[in-house]
């Protein structure tokens, strides 16, 4: 039997500053580095054969710290933009609470958690799902079926999409799924 382990990157500099990050390549904060090391400690005892990550530095840094703790730096590791965070378009780099004040609480909730809520020059969660799931089905799932243990280091919305698929969560209920950084 294989194991699928998913991790959201740990606290980034922009998480700390409460900014919509999306596809901006922002590093982990010092606290994020420590959280990644702690995540690795919690995984001791698990066997990992293959790792997947988005090409964004915060996901790669999280994975690198985990791999160091588990002493598995040499395992095959694949990067793919299909695992990237949601593109927040016009909101990228802006303070989340400023956006909430600007658009109101209900619209803000839809922007952050809604299933098919478009963002100008960005993506909806449905768009993220439509790039994550085909990648999972063609690249990751076959290796799980071969009995490989897989570790994925990615982002809140790419992992929400994956969990929605794996657990058959409805479009409405996925709005309540939170995958924290720490």
The closest alpha carbon to 82, from 58, 64, 46, 55, belongs to 55
Please state the separation of Cα 170 from the chain's center in Å: 19
Q: 38 burial class (0-12, 13-18, 19+ CB within 10 angstroms)?
A: middle
The closest alpha carbon to 173, from 130, 84, 113, belongs to 113
Residue tagged active-site, from 65, 85, 123, 175:
85
85 tagged catalytic: yes
- Rounded CA-CA distance 104/4 in Å is 38
Residue tagged active-site, from 9, 65, 91, 123:
9
155 tagged catalytic: no
Which of the residues are catalytic?
A: 9, 85
């Amino acid at each position: 039997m294989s194991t699928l382990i998913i991790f959201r990157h740990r606290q980034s500099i922009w998480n700390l500053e409460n900014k919509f990050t999306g596809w901006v390549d922002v590093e982990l904060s010092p606290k994020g580095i420590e959280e990644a090391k702690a995540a690795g400690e919690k995984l001791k005892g698990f066997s990992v054969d293959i790792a997947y990550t988005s090409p964004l530095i915060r996901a790669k840094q999280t994975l690198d710290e985990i791999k160091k703790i588990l002493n598995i730096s040499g395992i095959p590791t694949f990067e793919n933009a299909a695992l990237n965070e949601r593109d927040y378009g016009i909101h990228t780099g802006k303070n989340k609470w400023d956006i909430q004040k600007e658009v109101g609480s209900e619209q803000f909730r839809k922007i952050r958690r809604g299933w098919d809520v478009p963002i100008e020059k960005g993506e909806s969660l449905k768009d993220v799902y439509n790039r994550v799931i085909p990648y999972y089905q063609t690249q990751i799932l076959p290796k799980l079926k071969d009995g490989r243990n897989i570790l994925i280091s990615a982002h809140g919305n790419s992992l929400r999409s994956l969990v929605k698929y794996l657990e058959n969560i409805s479009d409405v209920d996925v709005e309540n799924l939170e995958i924290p950084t720490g």
